[in-house]
């Protein structure tokens, strides 16, 4: 009788094949789709879609928050590169519209995975909607910056947004940071500033 065993590959090993598939899909789509704008509808799938794979994977000793943070860095890094490719072809407004359209299937998938249950917390729902509004405005400004600047400069400069997040978290949420964490953030911001020169 065949023995069935659980997949014990490390997260990195699980990430590589899906990364290859995502890039392959993006690159090939530009060759056979009738419109040059259509491949960029796939942009959200490349930058967000593979997150669902790791939500069901527990084969790692790495803290979940760190795993998701590293995934965020990787996928947003790819997102920034692909955003520049798109902004060189179409306007920032069109990029934002197509990106939003591409997000619709993921929203539906997330809704179905939650077993079609909607959280009735009004304040939480308000924060969720506001999050989408600010993310959309930020995305529009980001695509406009990519359209008018170099990706090697726009990327690092816009990466300064965590500074505002940290300030708001400390002031409004009363979160505390130790000296090592503060030093790490300062060094990260310095490195980003140097890259932007």
pLDDT value of residue 138? 93
Residues 69 and 174: their CA atoms lie apart, in Å, by: 22
Instruction: Taking the CA atoms of 93, 96, 101 and 104 in sequence, report the sign of the dihedral they define.
Output: negative
Q: Mean pLDDT by 10-residue block, N- to C-terminus, for the chain (197 residues)? A: 45 41 47 49 50 50 83 86 91 91 86 74 87 92 93 85 85 89 83 73
pLDDT tens digits, 113-142: 877 676 678 888 889 889 989 999 999 999
Nearest Cα residue to 142 out of 196, 195, 188, 82: 82
pLDDT value of residue 9? 45
Question: What is the residue extent of each domain of the chain?
Answer: 11-149, 159-197
Predicted TM-score (pTM) above 0.85:
no
How far are the Cα atoms of 102, 118, 155 from residue 108, in angstroms, in the given order? 11, 12, 29
- Which phi-psi region, left, alpha or beta, contains residue 135 (left: φ > 0; alpha: ψ -120 to 50)? alpha
pLDDT value of residue 148? 93
């Amino acid at each position: 009788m065949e023995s069935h065993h659980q997949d014990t590959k490390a997260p990195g090993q699980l990430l590589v094949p899906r990364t290859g598939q995502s890039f392959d899909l993006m690159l090939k789509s530009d060759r056979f789709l009738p419109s040059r704008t259509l491949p960029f509808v796939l942009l959200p799938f490349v930058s967000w879609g593979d997150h669902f794979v790791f939500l069901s994977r527990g084969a790692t000793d790495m803290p979940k928050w760190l795993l998701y943070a590293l995934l965020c860095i990787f996928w947003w890094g790819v997102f920034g590169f692909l955003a520049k490719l798109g902004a060189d072809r179409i306007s920032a407004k069109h990029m934002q519209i197509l990106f939003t359209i591409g997000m619709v299937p993921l929203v539906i998938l997330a809704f179905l995975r939650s077993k079609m249950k909607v959280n009735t917390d009004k304040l939480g729902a308000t924060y969720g909607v506001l999050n989408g509004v600010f993310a959309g405005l930020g995305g529009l400004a980001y695509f406009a910056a990519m359209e008018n600047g170099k990706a090697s400069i726009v990327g690092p400069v816009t990466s300064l947004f965590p500074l505002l997040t940290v300030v708001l978290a400390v002031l409004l949420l009363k979160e505390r940071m130790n000296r090592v964490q503060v030093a790490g953030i300062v060094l990260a911001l310095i490195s980003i500033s140097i890259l932007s020169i």
